[in-house]
Amino acid sequence: MNSLQTIKGPAIFVAQYISNEPPFNTLDGICQWASSLGYRGIQIPIDPRLIDIEAAAKDAEYCESLLSIFQKHNIQLTELSSHLQGQLIAVHPAYDTLFDAFAPAQVHNNPKARQEWATQFLCLAAKASKNLRLTAHATFSGALAWPYIYPWPQRPAGLIETAFSELAARWMPILDVFEECGVDLCYEIHPGEDLHDGVSFEQFLAAVNHHPRASILYDPSHFVLQCMDYLAFIDRYHSRIRIFHVKDAEFLPDGRQGVYGGYSDWTQRAGRFRALGDGQVDFKGIFARLAQYGYGGWAVLESECAFKDKIVCAREGAGFIESSIIPVSETAFDDFAAGAVGPDGVRRILGLD
């Protein structure tokens, strides 16, 4: 059977665009803006300026009112994102102060309460996604082991295993809610998270007993910065990839810095994010691989270029994605030469009769 599938798009993730200024401060405004640029889909973070997550989890009529806004602008909601809240499921103490900013004030300086709040939030996100007729959700895994990414000083025996066991224990109840809702929970494979490459994803997958909803948000830019083979990653993990962020990057090491970047700012690092087409990502290869494996989701622009204005990135990105999507063929190129050979004929060809 032909598994080829045409990717949907272009779509845009608007987390980097939300502000308190129109049109970026309301769902209606940001949908109109994205549609005017040629986008057919929009991925939104769970931000109160765009969505009331408690209402969306409990009120079907509210969800219909949201969907009507998208329909008015001839654009679709692709997924919700809880990157900031997912980060709070697992926070190493070194990052407590920094990550408190992602949570409401009443749980600041209280890691246990913050985690409980984030867990409840993710469960609401699962129910809201179901009510909005979505099939995938974007998030971060959080990190307990990230400060120990480089094994010096030597890691004590069992540290990584314990970290992943605890990470799994925190996520399993949430994954079960996503299973009940019929929604895939897609972890962005991202430095700073415990799930930052294929090996760490496999460790997590084993710890959650290969949960059917434990899925991947694939963003090749993060693999470029780690010097990974991002095409081989698709070959290996395509069955778990449910969301695709289209983001470019470059890695230009020299005699002064490499992967770790010497604490430089983004514009000075060896590895940095770029506008689509300005970096090193082989998008032709990626779109071909995803089409080959039957990825039926959206191609979603994420704009984090270290140089180019994000509005320009959005304007250029729609056309770039549009031209990258492969409208797959429903037939084989050599069908014109096919002959009508039945099972008996096949046996004769092989000399079996």
The amino acid occupying position 39 is: Y
Residue 185 has pLDDT above 60, yes or no: yes
In-domain check, residue 2: no
Looking at residue 1, its pLDDT comes to 39
In-domain check, residue 297: yes
Mean pLDDT of the chain, nearest integer: 96
In-domain check, residue 180: yes
In-domain check, residue 171: yes
| Chain Cα centroid distance, residue 110 | 29
Residue 342 has pLDDT above 90, yes or no: no
Looking at residue 105, its pLDDT comes to 98
The domain tally of the chain equals 1
Q: Tell me the per-residue pLDDT of 23-79, one tens digit each, with 9 for 90 and over.
A: 999 999 999 999 999 999 999 999 999 999 999 999 999 999 999 999 999 999 999
Looking at residue 2, its pLDDT comes to 56
In-domain check, residue 3: no
Residue 333 has pLDDT above 80, yes or no: no
Looking at residue 340, its pLDDT comes to 79
Residue 231 has pLDDT above 70, yes or no: yes
Give me the percent of the chain exceeding a pLDDT of 90: 93
Domain range holding 17? 8-349
In-domain check, residue 318: yes
Q: Tell me the per-residue pLDDT of 274-293, one tens digit each, with 9 for 90 and over.
A: 999 999 999 999 999 999 99
Q: Tell me the per-residue pLDDT of 124-170, one tens digit each, with 9 for 90 and over.
A: 999 999 999 999 999 999 999 999 999 999 999 999 999 999 999 99
In-domain check, residue 168: yes
Q: What is the CATH number of the domain that holds 76?
A: 3.20.20.150
Query: For residue 199, what pLDDT band results from cuts at 50, 70 and 90?
Result: very high
Looking at residue 349, its pLDDT comes to 87
Full-prediction pTM beyond 0.85?
yes
Residue 191 has pLDDT above 70, yes or no: yes
Q: Tell me the per-residue pLDDT of 66-116, one tens digit each, with 9 for 90 and over.
A: 999 999 999 999 999 999 999 999 999 999 999 999 999 999 999 999 999
Q: Tell me the per-residue pLDDT of 26-42, one tens digit each, with 9 for 90 and over.
A: 999 999 999 999 999 99
In-domain check, residue 328: yes
Query: For residue 338, what pLDDT band results from cuts at 50, 70 and 90?
Result: confident
Give me the percent of the chain exceeding a pLDDT of 70: 99
